[in-house]
Structure 1
Amino acid sequence: MPHVVGYAPGVYDLFHVGHLNILRHARSQCDYLVAGVVSDEMAELAKGRRPVIPLVERLEIVRSISFVDAAFVETVPDKVETWKQVRFDVIFKGDDWRGTAKGEKLERDFREVGVEVVYFPYTVHTSSTQLRRALSLLEGDAGRLHEAGLQ
């Protein structure tokens, strides 16, 4: 029976149930799961902003998840370059990548090296972006209350 190594990359900022679901589902489809934790610099390059939680803390959180066998710091934007270091058999992504230019490039690149791309349902009701927005609104409300002398 082949030993299947899976790779689940992500920023894993403001860790939430969507992150947990991806790691749980990924682990169910491989024998050994490596979580790729995107560096602060790569996250800023990809998303235009740095994570709220520093890399060392995100790495510790992800390493502590029982579904994760190892964590790897992703420092380059090219996933094939990461594959050359980690050597996984399957990569897991949220299905928000499916059918996009990024997803199609990922599939093409990995087809060439024999890596399968597996998509999982994106957790619509919870995302780090939504959490950031809610925190920003709460901070704004607290500031307005303070300015009004109500806090």
Structure 2
Amino acid sequence: MTNVITFGTFDLFHYGHLRILERAKILGDRLIVGVSSDELNYRKKNRYPLISEEYRCHIINSLKCVDEVFLEKSLELKRDYIRQYRANILVMGDDWKGKFDHLKCICDVIYLPRTVNISTSCLIEQIRRNSK
């Protein structure tokens, strides 16, 4: 059995999120998703997600392509999460390209292209502009 693991914040869930999860699932038998905690997101982006970690986990867990969800509390624990969930493949968006190559000794690392012209940051900016 091939376990695929991926990670993300998945704030303001959109088509790009769905596409990377669907493409990750195709690579194996099971897809395990680490959803970044509110605190981890604050440390990464200096802002809290608009949607709570509880709701984001529920959304991701509701997708038919996802087999298991857990709360990711630290970027530094990726190796531990990979081992804990017996992942054979780590999938990340290509905006992280090269940043997880050091994990190739314990699993395959695949960087998938992001969906063009959509991101949570762009959506937030568009909402801000339209609300003025």
TM-score by length of structure 2 reads 0.94
Query: What is the aligned-residue identity percentage?
Result: 34
Corresponding residue number in structure 2 for 1:73: 71
Q: CA RMSD in A?
A: 1.1
Letter paired with 1:111: K
Letter paired with 2:92: K
Corresponding residue number in structure 2 for 1:138: 130
Corresponding residue number in structure 1 for 2:109: 117
Displacement after TM superposition at 1:136 (Å): 1.3
Displacement after TM superposition at 1:48 (Å): 1.4
Native 8 Å contact 1:76 1:82 kept in 2: no
Q: Report Cα offsets for 1:88-147 as digits up to 9, x if no partner.
A: 111111112224xxx2xx111x1232x1111111112110000110111123x1xxxxxx
Letter paired with 1:44: Y
Corresponding residue number in structure 2 for 1:35: 33
Letter paired with 1:82: Y
Q: For residues 120 and 111 of structure 1, what CA distance do their matches in structure 2 show?
A: 16
Q: Report Cα offsets for 1:22-47 as digits up to 9, x if no partner.
A: 00000000100001101000011111
SS at 1:34 equivalent = strand
Higher relative contact order (CA 8 A, sep 6+): 2
- Runs of at least 5 residues in structure 2 that lack an aligned partner in the other structure: none
Structure whose alpha-carbon radius of gyration is higher: 1
Letter paired with 1:85: Q
Q: For residues 62 and 50 of structure 2, what CA distance do their matches in structure 1 show?
A: 19
Q: For residues 42 and 109 of structure 2, what CA distance do their matches in structure 1 show?
A: 24
Aligned positions, number: 131
Letter paired with 1:31: D
Letter paired with 2:119: S
Corresponding residue number in structure 2 for 1:51: 49
